[in-house]
Amino acid sequence: MTHSSASRQPVALGLVGLGTIARNQHLPSLAAVPAFRLAAIASRNATLDTLPGYPDIDALLAAEPEVTAVSLCTPPQGRFEQAASAIGAGRHVMLEKPPGASVSEVEALAAMARAKGVTLFATWHSRAAAAVEEARRLLANRKISRVEITWKEDVRHWHPGQDWIWQPGGLGVFDPGINALSVVTRILPSALHPVSAVLDVPENRQAPIAARLSMVTADGAPVEAEFDWRQTGPQTWDIRVESDGPEILLRMGGAELHVAGEKIIAAADEEYRRLYARFAELIATGASEVDLSPLQLVADAFLLAERRTVAPFHDPALPG
Closest CA to 228 of 202, 204, 256, 195: 202
Using alpha carbons, list the distances in angstroms from residue 190 to 59, 128, 139, 144, 221: 44, 19, 10, 9, 10
The contact pattern for a second copy, residues 162-201, with x = CB under 8 A and - = no contact, is ------xx-x-------------------xxxx-xx----
Q: Residue 84: enclosing H or E segment and its boundaries?
A: helix 79-88
Comparison of 130 and 192: residue with beta carbon closer to a second copy = 192
Write 51-55 long-range contacts (CB < 8 A, 24+): none
Closest CA to 151 of 240, 21, 269: 240
107 belongs to the binding site for a second copy (CB under 8 A): yes
314 belongs to the binding site for a second copy (CB under 8 A): no
The answer to whether 143 is a known catalytic residue is: no
Q: One of 97, 143, 152, 263 is an active-site residue; which one? A: 97
Find the shortest distance in angstroms from Cβ 101 to a second copy. Answer: 5
303 belongs to the binding site for a second copy (CB under 8 A): yes
204 belongs to the binding site for a second copy (CB under 8 A): no
Residues 51 and 74: their CA atoms lie apart, in Å, by 18
Name the packing angle between helices 293-304 and 103-116 (round to 10°): 150
Residues 124 and 85: their CA atoms lie apart, in Å, by 22
Please identify which residue in 28, 65, 104, 114 interacts with a second copy, judged by CB under 8 A: 104
218 belongs to the binding site for a second copy (CB under 8 A): yes
Strand partners, 210: 200, 228
58 belongs to the binding site for a second copy (CB under 8 A): no
Side-chain-side CA neighbours of 51 within 13 Å: the count stands at 22
32 belongs to the binding site for a second copy (CB under 8 A): no
Contact 171, 298 (CB under 8 A): yes
Reduced to 3 states (helix: H, G, I; strand: E, B; else coil), residue 40 is strand
Count of H-run helices and E-run strands, the chain: 10, 15
Find the shortest distance in angstroms from Cβ 290 to a second copy. Answer: 14
Q: Report how many residues bind a second copy under the rule CB under 8 A.
A: 34
Comparison of 196 and 232: residue with beta carbon closer to a second copy = 196
The contact pattern for a second copy, residues 108-137, with x = CB under 8 A and - = no contact, is x--xx-------------------------
Residues 227 and 46: their CA atoms lie apart, in Å, by 32
Comparison of 46 and 304: residue with beta carbon closer to a second copy = 304
Find the shortest distance in angstroms from Cβ 95 to a second copy. Answer: 15
103 belongs to the binding site for a second copy (CB under 8 A): yes
CB-count burial class (<10 Å; 0-12, 13-18, 19+) for 264: middle
Comparison of 105 and 154: residue with beta carbon closer to a second copy = 105
Please identify which residue in 20, 235, 236, 296 interacts with a second copy, judged by CB under 8 A: 296
Only segment of 27-35, 59-67, 89-97, 102-110 that touches a second copy (CB under 8 A): 102-110
Residue ranges in contact with a second copy by CB under 8 A: 77, 80, 101-105, 107-108, 111-112, 168-169, 171, 191-194, 196-197, 206, 218, 293, 296-300, 302-307
Show which residues are catalytic: 97
